[in-house]
């Protein structure tokens, strides 16, 4: 619940990806310095999972107040990789029941994209 509380307090979540780990560190640190400590790292490049792991390791020691989550997640195996690599929340463009179950078992907040009342009900 601490992650959700931090997200609600922050009100805006930066969404970011770059294949260059150093660029990621600098941009995410700039966001954190500006008060945006919850960051959604998007799963959009060939080496996104590797970059995420390196960035998460960096902030675990350099600035543990940074809360790294992952976005653009459409399946449970991909979500599992990012959770194992330190993702503290998961965002997806659609509701995937397998991702929801995985996140629920791991105690990780999951925010699926929902476009109808039925999807919202299913997500709840």
Say what the alpha-carbon torsion angle 61, 18, 95, 111 is, to the nearest 10 degrees: 40
Inter-axis angle of helices 48-62 and 21-33, nearest 10: 50
Q: How far apart are the first and last CA of the chain?
A: 16
Q: How far apart are CA 100 and CA 88, in angstroms?
A: 14
Phi first, then psi, for residue 38 (nearest 5°) are: -95, 125
CATH superfamily of the 2-89+99-107 domain: Aldolase class I (3.20.20.70)
Please tell me the predicted confidence (pLDDT) of residue 57.
97
Largest CA distance in the chain: 42
- Model confidence, pTM: 0.94
Give, for all 124 residues of the chain, the pLDDT tens digit.
799 999 999 989 999 999 999 999 999 999 999 999 999 999 998 899 999 999 999 999 999 999 999 999 999 999 999 999 999 999 999 999 999 999 999 999 999 998 888 888 888 8
Please tell me the predicted confidence (pLDDT) of residue 115.
83
In SS3 terms, 27-93 reads as HHHHHHHCCCCEEEEECCCCCHHHHHHHHHHHHHHHCCCCEEEEECCCCHHHHHHHHHCCCCCEEEC
Please tell me the predicted confidence (pLDDT) of residue 118.
84
Please tell me the predicted confidence (pLDDT) of residue 123.
81
């Amino acid at each position: 619940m601490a992650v959700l509380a931090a997200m609600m307090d922050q009100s805006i979540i930066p969404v970011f990806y770059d294949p260059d780990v150093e660029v990621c560190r600098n941009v995410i640190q700039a966001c954190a310095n500006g008060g945006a400590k919850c960051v959604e790292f998007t799963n959009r490049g060939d080496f996104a999972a590797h970059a995420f792991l390196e960035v998460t390791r960096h902030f675990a020691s350099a600035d543990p107040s940074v809360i790294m989550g992952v976005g653009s997640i459409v399946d449970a195996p991909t979500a599992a990789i990012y959770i194992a690599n330190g993702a503290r929340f998961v965002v997806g463009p659609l509701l995937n029941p397998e991702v929801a179950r995985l996140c629920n078992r791991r105690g990780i907040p999951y925010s699926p994209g929902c476009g109808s009342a039925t999807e919202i009900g299913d997500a709840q």
